[in-house]
Amino acid sequence: MRAEAQAHIDQINAAILLLRRFLDWDRALKRLGELNEKVEDPSLWNDPKAAQEVMRERRRLEEAIAATRKMQTELADTVELIEMAEAEGDEDLVDDGGRALAELATSAERDKVAALLAGEADANNSYVEVNSGAGGTESNDWAGMLQRMYSRWAERHGMKVELIDHHSGEQAGIKSATLLVKGENAYGNLKTESGVHRLVRISPYDSSARRHTSFASVWVYPEVDDDIDIEINESELRVDTFRASGAGGQHVNTTDSAVRITHLPTNIVVQCQNQRSQHKNKAEAMKQLKARLYEAELQKREAEADASAASKTDIGWGHQIRSYVLQPYQLVKDLRTGVISTAPGDVLDGDLDRFMAAALSQRVTGERVDVEDVD
């Protein structure tokens, strides 16, 4: 077997093993049988909401199990074809088999990511908060670059982006911004982006052209839909109003239309200023608060709070999940998974899928990689 073909085989086998582990294979097969029995019971539809949940769970399990079996079958068939071709000395057929393996490896990665997006809120829309760290204009500019990066990623995947909250920096960039990314599996894909992001570059704002290091934090949490009931006691809220900043016309800048809500028991703070109406801004801020509280509950139930712990630490050195170096060389390096890219321009333009897929896989395996940061 050629080295390149063997590498593809190893990659596909790794994807299959990861999926079987994620699904808990024997348990998944048993659960699918139970769901099929429920679907055949006419009384299921006496409760339409419960029936929809059963159908949704069955569909996800069926798709994940079918994708895994398809990978196994296609891999076995292709390997057998290559081995027969090698035994007969048919180089053209060996080449065909190698190309088929390469295509299968690509589809295996795609199917693996799709199957991993089976968490309780993975299919939901997602909020993305970006906050600049210490460093003034440099950090503000970096936060603005991250806001654009996630907007471009969403556009690449046919998702819509709404700007919920925005605070501009004095000279450039942003102090903070909140995006609402709308699309299938938005939260599932974005959830591993929570944490501190580090930028190294020669500052365009430094007349001496010195190299600067900047930090910004990203916090990702799912939008809560109407099927999820989150109870909030009004007495536990502090609601503040203030004047909106930035574009929006005379009305926005001269009235206290912006709203900030603090949930006193958890000290979670959300705010919204993108609407002209204070009432609408409060309604949107309440949606964000419910989403934040839901995310906190998910972390407890899933016992995976360490995946987002970095985003709750200081926005500075030692807490970053990814480093982006633009000068004197070009490199993006994920400090959790070790995935790298030598094209930071592409990454900052939204090419994040490799980083997201690796981080999703790591959440399943629990394996930690010893990765050194870049200078």
| pLDDT tens sequence across 57-105 | 898 889 889 989 999 999 999 999 999 999 999 999 999 999 999 999 9
Burial letters 144-165, b for 16+ CB under 10 A, else e:
bbbbbbbbbbbeebebebeebb
Burial letters 304-340, b for 16+ CB under 10 A, else e:
eeebbebbeeebbeebbbbbbbbeeeebbbbbbbebe
Give residue 75's pLDDT. Answer: 95
Give residue 28's pLDDT. Answer: 92
Q: Is the pLDDT of residue 294 over 90?
A: no
Q: Is the pLDDT of residue 35 over 60?
A: yes
Instruction: Of 7-16, 142-151, 270-279, give the range with the top mean pLDDT.
Output: 142-151
Q: Is the pLDDT of residue 290 over 90?
A: no
With CA atoms as reference, report the closest residue to 110 among 291, 357, 304, 365. Answer: 357
CATH topology for the 121-375 domain: Alpha-Beta Plaits (3.30.70)
Give residue 317's pLDDT. Answer: 53
pLDDT band at 229 (very low <50, low <70, confident <90, very high): low
**Dist CA 174 CA 166 (whole Å):** 7
- State the average pLDDT over residues 14-30: 90
Contact 171, 205 (CB under 8 A): yes
Q: Is the pLDDT of residue 296 over 90?
A: no
- Look up tokens 């969403």; give the residue: 154
Q: What is the mean pLDDT of the chain?
A: 86
**Dist CA 285 CA 208 (whole Å):** 43
Contacts of 37 (CB under 8 A, 6+ apart): none
Give residue 138's pLDDT. Answer: 93
In the chain, what are the domain boundaries? 3-116, 121-375
121-375: same fold as 3-116?
Answer: no
Give residue 119's pLDDT. Answer: 74
Q: Is the pLDDT of residue 314 over 70?
A: no
Q: Convert the pLDDT of each residue in 237-260 to its tens digit.
A: 999 888 776 544 444 455 678 899
Q: Convert the pLDDT of each residue in 154-186 to its tens digit.
A: 999 999 999 999 999 988 999 999 999 999 899
Class of 3-116 in CATH = mainly alpha
The pLDDT > 70 percentage for the chain reads 90
- State the average pLDDT over residues 199-213: 89
- State the average pLDDT over residues 279-308: 74
Instruction: Count other Cβ atoms within 10 Å, centred on residue 30.
Output: 11
Q: How many CA atoms lie within 13 A of 326 on its CB side?
A: 18
Q: Is the pLDDT of residue 273 over 80?
A: yes
**pTM for the predicted model, two decimal places:** 0.73
CB-based burial label for 301 (10 Å; 0-12, 13-18, 19+) = exposed
